[in-house]
Amino acid sequence: MTLRVYNTLTRTKEEFVPRKPGRIDIYQCGVTPYDYTHIGHARQYVFWDTVRRYLEYRGWEVFCVQNVTDVDDKIIAKAGTQGVEPEEITEKYHRDFLDVMDKLGVERPDEMPKVTQHIPEIIKLIKGLVEKGYAYESEGDVFFDVKSFPGYGKLSGRSLDDMMSGARIEINTKKRSAMDFALWKSAKPGEPSWDSPWGAGRPGWHIECSALALKYLGSGFDMHGGGDELVFPHHENEIAQSEAYTGEGPFARYFVHHAMLNIDDVKMSKSLGNFFSVRDVLEEFESGVIRYFFASRHYRSPANYGVDELEAASKAYMRLRSTLDAGRRALAKADKVEPREVMASGINLGSAAEEAERKFIEGMDDDFNTAVGIASLHDLVRVINDFLHATSGTAGQNKEDLEDLHQAVSVLETLGGILGLFQEDDEAVEDTGFVEGLVSLLIEVRDDLRIKKEWSLADKIRDSLKDIGIILEDTSTGTVWKRM
Ligand SMILES: [Zn+2]
């Protein structure tokens, strides 16, 4: 099986061939830290974390770079209104970003370069573009001359003429052509600035990604990620700057764009007042629920977001979790009893585990279809549940059954782990052991009460457990329990 990836450059799903065998270099446009990280941003980072985990699972070495845009109009404006230095703003919100990403189980990138720490690299790139005739200085600003780069428009599939007719043409007498964009902006009073061959100023937004990607990954790296709203102009401009500078292409082999997150069908945007910070969402839902919510939708489909969607994700995720817990409990229990000859369950859990893994890989190889991945987990969970029910009295003491259960639980953990699920488990496992002990004790007490025909007390135990979400089932071989 080979991995196929939808490449915006060609508008087709292509077979993925890395630049170097065995290694995949990824760049994604990172955050502009001027506010709390919102759930719409999280879609991107969660998706790329899943991609990374999957590629590593398939045996590739993965190297990820993600920039931090720590100089920007929005940062400067916010620092101005609060009367603080811009760094205070960027540090505060970048910390929030790292914190909530850690909580979502998003692995940190290998490099997270900040723009303000790479001004010399950016100036060098702009200088090179000016020398090669792709850029020009005008009253302290430097612009990229889009007409000088023949491939301009190849990512967004638009010709320069189309862009010109569709654009709101701003009057800027400094520019040669309306579509030209700023590489360097001359300093305005009170704003952060750096010395350059064109006087004091700061870099434009697009140039930073070219400079940082070329520095950390070099020309022709594997995947470039970002939201589909960045196709034009941001990524179009990155390509023009980078390929004009290096004199070779492609800048990136595969451009992989995710769709926006909508809130109640309205395009998510802060200006519409429907901002939800990841921090707030994590107060209500555990990280696995949020990861489940994202994974259950294909990254290129716009997804609707709301409390209803999260609650549905929570219910579905808990079905996976409670089966995983029950499977672990059954394994722990089997460890404690002497093996003896018992009939096999007749349920082929081993082949169900293999089938789930096959389906998962097939889905993920088809342009990272995480929704198919989720479906394969539910398929496996259904068979594990049947198995646990059938073997509840024997604690999996049949040797083959026990091996199958080990395999199925491990496959569920591994595949779920690729999607970022079950990461809250360290704590949950301890909890599980504790809950297991308490519930077993209550079941024993209830059995004693039933022997003594103390029915109302026995029922009270069963009903009270049900109230807190624990269901007791009396089977021919004893009482078993599960979470609702
Ligand atoms: Zn970028």
- For ligand 1, the distance from its centroid to the CA atom of residue 149, given in whole angstroms, is 19
- For ligand 1, the distance from its centroid to the CA atom of residue 28, given in whole angstroms, is 7
Determine if the peptide bond prior to 109 is cis (ω within 30°): no
What is the distance between the alpha carbons of residues 218 and 27, in angstroms, rounded to a whole number?
11
CB 95 within 8 A of CB 88: no
User: For 91-133, what is each residue's pLDDT tens digit?
Assistant: 999 999 999 999 999 999 999 999 999 999 999 999 999 999 9
User: What is the structure's pLDDT at 263?
Assistant: 74
User: What is the structure's pLDDT at 397?
Assistant: 73
Query: What CATH number should be reported for the domain holding residue 106?
Result: 3.40.50.620
Confidence band of 471 (pLDDT split at 50, 70, 90)? confident
Residue 299 lies in a domain: no
Mean of pLDDT values over 344-365: 95
- For ligand 1, the distance from its centroid to the CA atom of residue 329, given in whole angstroms, is 47
- For ligand 1, the distance from its centroid to the CA atom of residue 319, given in whole angstroms, is 39
Regarding whether 411 and 437 lie in a shared domain, the answer is no
Regarding whether 476 and 345 lie in a shared domain, the answer is no
- What stretches of 18-158 adopt beta strand conformation (E)? 23-28, 61-66, 135-138, 141-144
Confidence band of 283 (pLDDT split at 50, 70, 90)? confident
- For ligand 1, the distance from its centroid to the CA atom of residue 209, given in whole angstroms, is 5
Mean of pLDDT values over 293-315: 93
- For ligand 1, the distance from its centroid to the CA atom of residue 113, given in whole angstroms, is 12
Q: Say whether pLDDT at 184 is over 90.
A: yes
Q: What is the average pLDDT value for the chain, to the nearest integer?
A: 91
- For ligand 1, the distance from its centroid to the CA atom of residue 324, given in whole angstroms, is 40
- For ligand 1, the distance from its centroid to the CA atom of residue 91, given in whole angstroms, is 20
Regarding whether 147 and 260 lie in a shared domain, the answer is yes
Distances (CA, A) of 197 to 140, 211, 212, 256, 390: 9, 17, 20, 35, 77
CB 32 within 8 A of CB 73: no
Regarding whether 432 and 419 lie in a shared domain, the answer is no
Measured in degrees and rounded to the nearest 5, phi and psi for residue 67 equal -80, 165
User: For 249-264, what is each residue's pLDDT tens digit?
Assistant: 999 999 999 999 987 6
User: What is the structure's pLDDT at 136?
Assistant: 98
- Mean pLDDT: which of 209-218, 429-438, 466-475 is highest? 209-218
Distances (CA, A) of 282 to 28, 198, 299, 484: 24, 46, 21, 22
User: What is the structure's pLDDT at 436?
Assistant: 74
- For ligand 1, the distance from its centroid to the CA atom of residue 277, given in whole angstroms, is 22
Long-range contact pairs involving 474-477 (C-beta distance under 8 Å, separation at least 24)? 475/389, 475/392, 475/393, 476/393, 477/392, 477/393, 477/394
Regarding whether 259 and 347 lie in a shared domain, the answer is no
- For ligand 1, the distance from its centroid to the CA atom of residue 166, given in whole angstroms, is 23
Residue 271 lies in a domain: yes
User: What is the structure's pLDDT at 333?
Assistant: 84
Regarding whether 49 and 132 lie in a shared domain, the answer is yes
Q: Which stretch of DSSP H or E encloses residue 120?
A: helix 119-131
Non-local (6+) Cβ contacts of 10 within 8 A are: none
Q: Say whether pLDDT at 270 is over 60.
A: no
Map residue 228 onto helix, strand or coil.
helix
- For ligand 1, the distance from its centroid to the CA atom of residue 240, given in whole angstroms, is 13
User: What is the structure's pLDDT at 162?
Assistant: 82
Regarding whether 122 and 261 lie in a shared domain, the answer is yes
CB 115 within 8 A of CB 30: no
Regarding whether 28 and 72 lie in a shared domain, the answer is yes
- For ligand 1, the distance from its centroid to the CA atom of residue 56, given in whole angstroms, is 24
Q: What is the DSSP string of 176-222?
A: SSTT-EEEEEE--TTS--B--TT-SEEE-HHHHHHHHHHHHT-TTEE
- For ligand 1, the distance from its centroid to the CA atom of residue 200, given in whole angstroms, is 23
- For ligand 1, the distance from its centroid to the CA atom of residue 254, given in whole angstroms, is 14
Confidence band of 189 (pLDDT split at 50, 70, 90)? very high
CB 322 within 8 A of CB 482: yes
Residue 394 lies in a domain: yes
- For ligand 1, the distance from its centroid to the CA atom of residue 429, given in whole angstroms, is 40
Residue 290 lies in a domain: no
Specify the pTM.
0.87
Regarding whether 92 and 178 lie in a shared domain, the answer is yes
- For ligand 1, the distance from its centroid to the CA atom of residue 31, given in whole angstroms, is 9
Q: Say whether pLDDT at 274 is over 60.
A: no
Strands 252-258 and 221-227, how do they pair?
parallel
Domain with 439 in it = 426-484
Q: Say whether pLDDT at 17 is over 60.
A: yes
247 CB-contact burial (10 Å; exposed 0-12 / middle 13-18 / buried 19+): exposed
Q: Say whether pLDDT at 78 is over 70.
A: yes
**Of the residues 423, 444, 474, the one at which a domain ends:** 423
Residue 291 lies in a domain: no
Determine if the peptide bond prior to 233 is cis (ω within 30°): yes
User: What is the structure's pLDDT at 425?
Assistant: 58
Confidence band of 336 (pLDDT split at 50, 70, 90)? confident
- For ligand 1, the distance from its centroid to the CA atom of residue 205, given in whole angstroms, is 8
Residue 300 lies in a domain: no
Confidence band of 345 (pLDDT split at 50, 70, 90)? confident
User: What is the structure's pLDDT at 173?
Assistant: 78
Mean of pLDDT values over 233-256: 97
- For ligand 1, the distance from its centroid to the CA atom of residue 403, given in whole angstroms, is 48
User: What is the structure's pLDDT at 165?
Assistant: 74
Q: What percent of the chain has pLDDT over 90?
A: 73
Distances (CA, A) of 251 to 155, 184, 235, 278, 341: 11, 21, 10, 33, 63
Which bin fits 265, alpha (ψ -120 to 50), beta or left (φ > 0)? left
User: What is the structure's pLDDT at 271?
Assistant: 47
Residue 178 lies in a domain: yes
Structural domains counted in the chain: 3
- For ligand 1, the distance from its centroid to the CA atom of residue 339, given in whole angstroms, is 59
- For ligand 1, the distance from its centroid to the CA atom of residue 467, given in whole angstroms, is 51
**Of the residues 408, 423, 438, the one at which a domain ends:** 423
What is the distance between the alpha carbons of residues 351 and 38, in angstroms, rounded to a whole number?
41
CB 433 within 8 A of CB 351: no
**Of the residues 395, 423, 451, the one at which a domain ends:** 423
Regarding whether 432 and 399 lie in a shared domain, the answer is no
Regarding whether 457 and 482 lie in a shared domain, the answer is yes
User: What is the structure's pLDDT at 335?
Assistant: 81
Mean of pLDDT values over 39-58: 97
User: What is the structure's pLDDT at 135?
Assistant: 98
Regarding whether 144 and 250 lie in a shared domain, the answer is yes
Q: What percent of the chain has pLDDT over 70?
A: 92
- For ligand 1, the distance from its centroid to the CA atom of residue 29, given in whole angstroms, is 4
- What stretches of 201-298 adopt beta strand conformation (E)? 201-203, 221-227, 252-258, 261-263, 266-267
Residue 294 lies in a domain: no
Confidence band of 339 (pLDDT split at 50, 70, 90)? low
- For ligand 1, the distance from its centroid to the CA atom of residue 234, given in whole angstroms, is 6
- For ligand 1, the distance from its centroid to the CA atom of residue 418, given in whole angstroms, is 26
How many residues can be counted in the chain? Answer: 484
